[in-house]
Structure 1
Amino acid sequence: MGIGISVQNLSKSFGATNVWQDVTMDIPAGEVSGLIGPSGTGKSVFLKSLIGLLKPERGSIIIDGTDLTECSTKEMYEIRQMFGVMFQDGALFGSMSIYENTAFPLREHTKMSESKIHDIVMEKLEMVGLIGDEHKLPGEISGGMKKRAGLARSLVMDPQIILCDEPDSGLDPVRTSYLSQLLIDINAQIDCTILIVTHNINIARTVPDNIGMLFRKRLVMFGPREILLTSEEPVVGQFLNGRRIGPIGMSEEKDEATMAEEQAMVDAGQHAGGVEDIEGVPPQINATPGMPERKAVERRRARVREMMHYLPPKAQQAIYDELEANHAKAS
């Protein structure tokens, strides 16, 4: 099973610019979690902090009992072996074939024989649907295939945690849908912890077991998907529905006067911009038939049942509805 990540009171700045402060969340082991928020809120910076590429000024990141903010270079190296990272642009070496790109971490960090490396690489390429394309160069394949090649490379070291930095960037809606399904299927097959940073509303609504949101230099919330998807926080509703009117502006957050003017427009019946609001909690994507049963589902249900009484009423109702629907299917 994947490993959980406990983040406590984490703060990060670049010079005088504070990116985010006092971020606290527990990312559950073996589940798929998502982190959303407007551009420039430090989501990618957060991922880089989790693998020790950036050092926060305050707070702790506990992984497998070790605090990354205080560990030695040797400990950091060992912890990084637990991670697989799917970079935003794939980060493939242009002069290497898909096979060579995928094999690179094994050759760099292990002393495996070439025959063993071949078996692992082909297994991972099969998982992401790239068998037959292994000898192509990155310049000879589509953007979606590059994403899948990057995912295959992130899997070769058998990570317990996979970080995905905007996996949908540059992809059309159909390829994004395929990639969403692939991430759920990967979780079903290897029971790893996955954290997805995304701007994509459809991914946020249908893929993660848990969702968090960064805004105004803070974590607005993090928890079971039903909490955020039924939230009445204005910034959450604006982001999930792609509305122009709300706390999020074009380049920065809006001041109180601007928000008051916009609310007056809404009250007067003028359209808020964006799509029509989506009501309710959509079904989460299931693993593809024939895949192993996703162990995260039952673990999450047990965890959510324990915290049910502390959740907002709308989130509770959404969870009850889901449990009821699953019970009806089973019977």
Structure 2
Amino acid sequence: MTGVEVKVEGLSKSFGRANIWSDVTLTLPPGEVSVLLGPSGTGKSVFLKSLIGLLKPEKGSIVIHDTDLVRCSESKLYELRKLFGVLFQDGALFGSMNLFDNIAFPLREHTKRSEAQVRDVVMEKMDLVGLKGDENKLPGEISGGMRKRAGLARALVLDPEIILFDEPDSGLDPVRTAYLNQLIIDLNAQTDSTFLIVTHDINTAQTVPDNIGMLYRKQLAMFGPREVLLTSDDPVVAQFLNGRRQGPIGMSEEKDTAQAAREMAEVTELDGLPPLKPQLEAAAGLPDRKAVHRRRERVMRMLPTLPPAAQAAIRQSYTDRRGAASQHGSSEPSWPLSSYELSETALRGRHGHTTAAPPGTRLR
């Protein structure tokens, strides 16, 4: 499996007179893990359903392999859907089927493989998600976390290029959520598929993805590399990603402007910019995630355009990561990455002054 780019341009969706979101534009980079956040009711699950053609947007395009899913024929859409694997909130398992038959269902429905071949694939995916030996159990006989993993195994059996996760951590305790997050990272390391996760879990958003997007007030507030959003001074993004009460978001979507301004002044005085949480790494013995290398190259090109505090926080996080990797004997690449060396021009800020180069930077 290799991930594919998903390019969304000017997407708008309504139900009758109720507009869900408008003019959503983003690109899911191939092979990277992206997270979509937003307050409840902002249409995150609607966005996932639009991506796979279950809902038809009124405007815009969703381009995969040079084909627009919004305007293509039904037969073409049917074929493109085979590129997707979907993990639904509750696993969406058939209650009358055991786990083996649930996971085998897409193979029997969409392929002509023999039962021996089906068994090989199903057992491989069950082993991958830690369910080997549980194939004869019914969904009602297992825990919520196991149902999530069974749903994930089913999403993987057709070797999809794009995997969508609709609130995979809903209903799970923090320990099971941590295990699931690690599983997502490990799967990405092994498959290099494109992942999109809808979640409300702040720890997941801070530690799992390569990219973060946020829906707010019927718009896409921001989308980009994790380092950029985690150091953003945008009031909405900063409030949500830090789980603060203070900010523009209120219990009923939006606060009074004057109240939000008072609260933001209070946050600025007391808190400042929090340090970046380290991103989860693939388990020992698995290949390095290619997505990390691609994302960091992109961040380095963007760095001079970011506010000074964000630049400093990003440099510090990379320096800390490299130091931790050296201490543990990891193969973590030097910073910046060998495939992208910062030139003296790239280190210049918007006002023409040269910022301090991070340790190990080679100037050309």
Deviation, structure 1 residue 255: 2.8
- The whole-number CA distance in structure 2 between the counterparts of 1:59 and 1:240 is 28
Q: Which residue number in structure 1 is paired with residue 11 of structure 2?
A: 10
Q: Which residue number in structure 2 is paired with residue 105 of structure 1?
A: 106
Deviations 1:124-157 (A, max 9, x none): 0001000011110000000000110010000000
Is there any run of 5+ residues in structure 1 with no aligned partner, and where? none
Contact 2:11 / 2:60 at 8 angstroms: preserved in 1?
Answer: yes
Quickly say closer, same or farther: Cα 1:245–1:43, change in 2 above 3 A.
same
Contact 2:39 / 2:253 at 8 angstroms: preserved in 1?
Answer: no
Quickly say closer, same or farther: Cα 1:48–1:313, change in 2 above 3 A.
farther
Q: Which residue number in structure 1 is paired with residue 299 of structure 2?
A: 304
* Other structure's SS at 1:320 match: helix
- The whole-number CA distance in structure 2 between the counterparts of 1:66 and 1:41 is 27
* Other structure's SS at 1:316 match: helix
* TM-score when normalising by structure 1: 0.93
Deviations 1:64-112 (A, max 9, x none): 1111111111110111000000001110000011111100000010110
- The whole-number CA distance in structure 2 between the counterparts of 1:23 and 1:313 is 28
Deviation, structure 1 residue 261: 6.2
Quickly say closer, same or farther: Cα 1:277–1:34, change in 2 above 3 A.
farther
Deviation, structure 1 residue 312: 3.7
* Other structure's SS at 2:92 match: coil
What residue identity is the alignment partner of 1:294? R
Contact 1:86 / 1:154 at 8 angstroms: preserved in 2?
Answer: yes
- The whole-number CA distance in structure 1 between the counterparts of 2:27 and 2:88 is 23
Q: Which residue number in structure 2 is paired with residue 199 of structure 1?
A: 200
Taking the TM superposition and a 5 Å limit, the aligned residue runs for 1:48-63 are 48-63=49-64
Q: Which residue number in structure 2 is paired with residue 36 of structure 1?
A: 37
Contact 1:241 / 1:278 at 8 angstroms: preserved in 2?
Answer: no
* Other structure's SS at 1:121 match: helix
Taking the TM superposition and a 5 Å limit, the aligned residue runs for 1:279-298 are 279-298=274-293
Please state if 1:324 is matched with 2:319.
Answer: yes
Contact 2:278 / 2:321 at 8 angstroms: preserved in 1?
Answer: no
* TM-score when normalising by structure 2: 0.84
* Other structure's SS at 1:112 match: coil
Residues matched between the structures, number: 324
Contact 1:227 / 1:312 at 8 angstroms: preserved in 2?
Answer: no
Is there any run of 5+ residues in structure 2 with no aligned partner, and where? 327-331, 335-364
Q: Which residue number in structure 1 is paired with residue 133 of structure 2?
A: 132
- The whole-number CA distance in structure 2 between the counterparts of 1:312 and 1:52 is 38
Taking the TM superposition and a 5 Å limit, the aligned residue runs for 1:233-244 are 233-244=234-245
- The whole-number CA distance in structure 2 between the counterparts of 1:5 and 1:220 is 19
What residue identity is the alignment partner of 2:257? E
Taking the TM superposition and a 5 Å limit, the aligned residue runs for 1:196-275 are 196-260=197-261, 262=263, 266=266
Quickly say closer, same or farther: Cα 1:243–1:308, change in 2 above 3 A.
closer
Aligned residues: percent identity? 65
* Other structure's SS at 1:118 match: helix
Contact 2:83 / 2:161 at 8 angstroms: preserved in 1?
Answer: yes
- The whole-number CA distance in structure 2 between the counterparts of 1:198 and 1:278 is 23
* Other structure's SS at 2:54 match: coil
Quickly say closer, same or farther: Cα 1:314–1:209, change in 2 above 3 A.
farther
Quickly say closer, same or farther: Cα 1:308–1:214, change in 2 above 3 A.
same
- The whole-number CA distance in structure 1 between the counterparts of 2:97 and 2:307 is 51
- Runs of 4+ in structure 1 deviating by more than 6 angstroms, as ranges, are none
Higher relative contact order (CA 8 A, sep 6+): 1
Contact 1:3 / 1:192 at 8 angstroms: preserved in 2?
Answer: yes
Query: Highest Rg: 1 or 2?
Result: 2
